[in-house]
Chain A
Amino acid sequence: MRHSISRRTLLRGVGVGLGLPWLEAFAASSASRNPVRMAVLYMPNGVNTAAWNPVGSGRDFALSPTLEPLKDFKDQIVVISNLYNAGSRGGDGHYAKEATILTCATIKKTPGADLANGVSMDQVAAQRVADQTPLPSLELGVSPVAIGVDAAVGYTRIYGSHIAWSTPTTPLARELNPRAVYERLFRASSGQQANSAKTDSLLLDRVLGDARRLRSEVGTADRLRLDEYLSVMRSLEERVQRAGSATKNPWKARAPLTKAVPSDRPASHPEHVTLMLDMIATAFQSDTTRVCTFMFGNAVSDVSFRFLEGVDSGHHDTSHHAKNPEKLRQYAIINRWHIEQYAYLLGKLRSMKEGDSTVLDNSMILFGSALSDGDRHDPHKMPLVLAGRGGGRIDAGQHLVCSEDAPCANLYVSMLDAFGAPVERFGDSTGQLPGLLHT
């Protein structure tokens, strides 16, 4: 709650000389205030830039063919142009760029032994509010982690399969099964966790003891692995104990979970994506978590898009269009399909009332790709759209044209501020992103 009112608002308040009663008002409003949620939807392989770029800037802009499915949300979105993630320079065409979309770091070229990235901005947010919801964050996807190491470029494909990193060496595994996500949300929010809290705590206490003992017996490098174990088990223990203690656990579901239990075997790629997006909506509506990342595919994903009328190839294959007009057309169709899915989620969140506002009003849903033109693996001018008003902080309804190659880390600094997890710096940030937040 520390950050639920920005410094600027506070200063303004002091400026007009409000006294003690104002403080009470502050306390009351902060308790009832709707929490801000944040999700990132990541699309691999870049965009057909000609079909992506909107015309005009500021409030007076026209959606591009690719962004057209967002027309009902035009006053709720900010299309952001010209940002660049400098950490992704060098390296190969995909992993170095896509793995760092949320970390703004430079990954270490390795088949695995010394995996290194940065902490992703969603995890900065999640770590800040971990004690406020049953789950600190959700990492979701539809394609399993890619097999093998990419021998041609010398990176493990783990890089391309993870955008959320809780530490520079720990990518977060994603849940791919919609039913399992549902069950996880259900367990976390239904009190089931509270019922078994006592025995679970006993058990966790025991295994933590084993881990400490083992840790004292092994060499330095192995300790890092055991620290990882200790860390995830301890955080589970904390969550279990919080769930089991009425005094420590003021959390209540803001809405019951949807009754519709999703399939655990979606019949097609589109159905799989829809079900996962449904889970994000239900997680945010119930406030089971406030932070989520979703990957439409892994970096270099070649998922077949032949299910779309007019497309005859896979995603990555199509992205290497070599300026062939037919391939560019197909590339744009694939991009647009992703935007349609994004619009579907936005529509869902907007239909969820929350007092006088909607869940969408209280969210920041970022859609983006780490590449602009996938054919050239171009990391400049990242295609990004931010939707939702972030609880009123986001100046939505504009095409925000930033200065050329402004750090995309600045966007994350602003988002983290609106989320209530302000940071001085993030990656190569130089400050806030001018024009994004209401002043």
Chain B
Amino acid sequence: MLILAASSILTAQQPDYSFDSAKAFLTTHCQKCHQAKSPAGGFNVERVTAPASLQDNERKWLSAINRVRNGEMPPKGSPAPDVDSREQFAHWVAATLRSQACSDGITPGPAPIRRLNRDEYTATVQDLLDIHMNIGAALPADGAGGEGFDNAAETLFLSPLHSEKYMEIAKMAMDFAAKEFKSRTKILVAKPGPGVTPDQAAREILKAFLPRAFRRPITDADIAPYMDLFRAALKQRQTFESAIFFSLRSVLVSPLFLFRSEPPNTSSEPRPLDQYALASRLSYFLWGSLPDELLFDIAAAGKLHEPQVLKGLIGRMLRNERSLIFAERFVGQWLRIRELSANKAPDPKLFPTYYTDEELRSDISIQPIWFFRELLLRDLPLTNLLDSKFTIGTGKLTKHYGEKPVGRAANQQPTWIELPADTHRSGGLLGMASVQMVSSYPYRTSPVLRGAWILDSLLGTPPPPPPPNVPSLDEAHARATPTSVRERLTQHRADPVCASCHSRIDPLGFALENFDAYGRWREEEAGKPVDNSAELADGTKFQGPDQLKAYLLERKDLFIRNLTTKMLGYALGRGLTLKDSCAVDDIVAKVKENNYSAQTLIESIVLSVPFRYQAPVSRSPKEEKKP
């Protein structure tokens, strides 16, 4: 839910912005088309007589303010309000809608059925069969939805390509497992012999396998069809083993395995989630895989909803090495680090070591992931992400950053190291090469991209896209002419339309000019000293990364709110609704109360209403018909 997270920092909300200000905006800029009997888009602003009027059309308002922020409305040809008034109007509407939505407490949102994404599928099959093989590699990658993650239920669609791959992978995985001692021991818990018929043995095997595969207790109705399949295979003169492995293979293609679905809440009220469904939510959140035996046992005992039990489990789950999967998936997508292996890969001619030095490459991309996980394990303040006295170092990284290896930093293994007291230039996410690289072009730095990255990824306030038909900035040919990128940007900001946003974007990037496009520290560029000074539109001045980080730390609440929104979206695996933003408020408050503690964030998410409760399911009798 981009809009609500994006309560603007581009423009600080004026405290005296009121309903009247918003109404004046509507009258001046919108009413001409959106009025009378047939208002454009069925959207009549004359009906807005009080803040409460917004409630009638919540969704439409959310989409409307998005369009206003982005300059799509008012449309081309009408006098356009400036960016400040657009931001202030959008901010007021968002805040009003939110306070209305939260007035009757926090309620759970939808929990749609979802396919396991490629990573979840791979990890789940690996854990289920106890094999170590990247079997999901052949599946198409999943796109992202919701808060920007590839586990969003709404965008996990199925293509014919998936159906073929699932069939192939299931066969490959079972063939592999059938030959592995460890897997066989785990799967073949019974065998036919004296006093044990093939039927009985197969039933025992299925009874052990199916609950894990379906992540819930099973009934006879679950087993029967797989027994039939086993028998059908036997009839085709397969051996006992090949017949049972065939039956198990089909489990891996079944929607009961491929989809995560929760027993629907058919009551009319929200209710606590089924124990096993909660176990799955927890394990797919923190491990990206199926629940282990302990989680199952606690669910079976009906104790999973107890806060103390959950807190204990979270600590245990984070300490498990599988939480690295969570850190990789969350950080890799939140900060877009994953793009380093796609179109943000640095230019091979300019930065050849990225391609020749596999260790360095891996250290670069894993640094923010390790760092994030360490914050969780050590339960440190999340503000360390903005600036920190510590970082994760390796020998290769230290060398890359042009620093002298200090003590354990010379190690090859990622190590938690303390930074020199005089500068924090390497502290926090902004001190990491991966971050400086994803916010650059592969071949040069860009203050615009870096500034926009900070506004979007860190603060959750993405700048609006450039308005159509505005001459875009020609940064790239700075080198062909005597002017520098900075001078060109200054020129660009001379145009008031451009300046309205760029005066807020570019300075953030200027302060980081000491980092080259490969994340290395530099004092000079093309023979000239790097100018890392910056001034924002409101006159705030800062210079270099240390001061930029201090500036961002003053905005830490915005950062924490964005991080919370992202993580709740990731944990729920869907886009957040207006109602969810009430839960976000609540979680943010708890995190602040606990000095921004990293574990508090995870705990508060897990204990939140949207995570632990289930909304009533909507059933429309008209659509009962099967396709």
A interface residues with partner B (beta carbon < 8 Å) = 90-93, 109, 111-115, 136, 139, 143-149, 151-154, 156-158, 161, 166, 169-177, 180, 184, 198-200, 202-204, 206-207, 209-212, 214-215, 217-223, 225-233, 235-236, 301-304, 306, 312-314, 317-318, 320-324, 326-327, 375-377
Contact = CB atoms under 8 A, between A and B. Distances in A.
Nearest to B5: A151
A313 B456 CA distance: 23
A171 B144 CA distance: 13
B254 A210 contact: yes
6 contacts: A146-B143, A148-B148, A152-B456, A184-B164, A211-B255, A236-B160
Interface of B: 1-2, 6, 63, 66-67, 70, 72, 110, 112-115, 138, 140-150, 152, 154-155, 157-164, 167, 225-226, 228-229, 232-233, 236, 246, 249-250, 253-256, 258-259, 261, 263-264, 333, 336, 338-339, 342-343, 347, 349, 441-443, 452, 456, 462-465, 468-469, 471-474, 476-477, 480, 574-575, 617-620, 623, 626-627
A206 B142 contact: no
A313 B146 contact: no
B441 A314 contact: yes
A230 B114 CA distance: 14
A355 to B, nearest CB: 31
A161 B145 CA distance: 13
A145 B143 contact: yes
Contact of A313 (B154, B476, B626): B476
A306 B253 contact: no
A204 B480 CA distance: 62
A377 to B, nearest CB: 7
B160 A136 contact: yes
A297 B163 CA distance: 25
Nearest to A376: B469
A210 to B, nearest CB: 5
Nearest to A146: B143
A207 B250 contact: yes
A49 to B, nearest CB: 15
Contacts of B264: 217-219
Contacts of A320: 472
Given A147-B333, A214-B259, A222-B261, A327 B477 contact: yes
B255 A229 contact: yes
A151 B143 contact: no
A302 B246 CA distance: 45
Given A111-B146, A207-B255, 8 more contacts: A148-B149, A161-B143, A166-B159, A207-B254, A301-B343, A313-B476, A314-B343, A327-B477
B472 A375 contact: yes
A313 B261 CA distance: 46
A211 B261 CA distance: 12
B553 to A, nearest CB: 23
B474 A327 contact: yes
Q: DSSP majority for the B interface? A: loop
Nearest to B477: A326
A145 B141 contact: yes
Contact of A214 (B70, B256, B620): B256
A173 B253 contact: no
Contacts of B469: 376
A299 to B, nearest CB: 12
A158 B225 contact: no
A93 B474 CA distance: 18
A143 B255 contact: no
B462 A152 contact: yes
A143 B342 CA distance: 7
Contacts of A317: 441, 476
Question: Which 7 A-B pairs give the minimum distances between C-beta atoms?
Answer: A112-B145, A158-B143, A173-B140, A219-B617, A173-B159, A222-B113, A151-B462
A320 to B, nearest CB: 4
Residue from B72, B159, B471, B574 with most neighbouring chain A CB atoms (10 Å): B159
Nearest to A224: B623
Contact of B338 (A90, A147, A203, A322): A147
B236 A198 contact: yes
B233 A202 contact: yes
A236 B618 CA distance: 31
Given A156-B155, A207-B253, A207-B254, A112 B146 contact: yes
Contacts of B144: 112, 147-149, 156-158
B347 A304 contact: yes
A218 B464 contact: no
B627 A227 contact: yes
Given A136-B160, A147-B338, A113 B70 contact: no
B152 A112 contact: yes
Nearest to A196: B171
A225 B113 contact: yes
B159 A232 contact: yes
Contacts of B160: 136, 166, 172, 232, 235-236
Residue from B70, B114, B164, B258 with most neighbouring chain A CB atoms (10 Å): B164
A113 to B, nearest CB: 5
B476 A220 contact: no
B163 A148 contact: no
Contacts of A377: 468
Contacts of A149: 2, 144-148
B378 to A, nearest CB: 28
B443 A322 contact: no
A175 B161 CA distance: 8
A324 B619 contact: no
B619 to A, nearest CB: 6
Given A149-B2, A154-B2, A306-B443, A144 B162 contact: no
Contacts of B159: 139, 166, 170-173, 232
B225 A209 contact: yes
B161 A210 contact: no
A113 B456 contact: no
Given A147-B144, A207-B253, A324 B113 contact: no
Contact of B70 (A153, A156, A220, A235): A153
Given A236-B164, A320-B472, A218 B145 contact: no
Contacts of B263: 217
Nearest to A135: B160
Contacts of B336: 147-148
A175 B138 CA distance: 9
A304 B627 CA distance: 46
A175 B258 CA distance: 20
A154 B167 CA distance: 35
A176 B341 CA distance: 14
A230 B141 CA distance: 21
A8 B45 CA distance: 54
Residue from B254, B468, B469 with most neighbouring chain A CB atoms (10 Å): B254
Contacts of B618: 219-221
A267 to B, nearest CB: 10
Contacts of A184: 164
B2 A304 contact: no
A302 B258 CA distance: 34
A314 B475 CA distance: 13
Contacts of B255: 207, 210-211, 214, 226, 229
Nearest to A177: B138
B145 A113 contact: yes
A56 B177 CA distance: 66
A225 B115 contact: yes
Given A109-B63, A220-B620, A303-B343, A151 B2 contact: yes
B157 A170 contact: yes
Nearest to B342: A144
Contacts of A304: 343, 347, 442-443
Nearest to A375: B472
B487 to A, nearest CB: 15
A198 B259 CA distance: 26
Given A148-B144, A376-B468, A218 B113 contact: yes
B614 to A, nearest CB: 11
A144 B155 CA distance: 15
Contacts of B148: 111, 147-149, 151
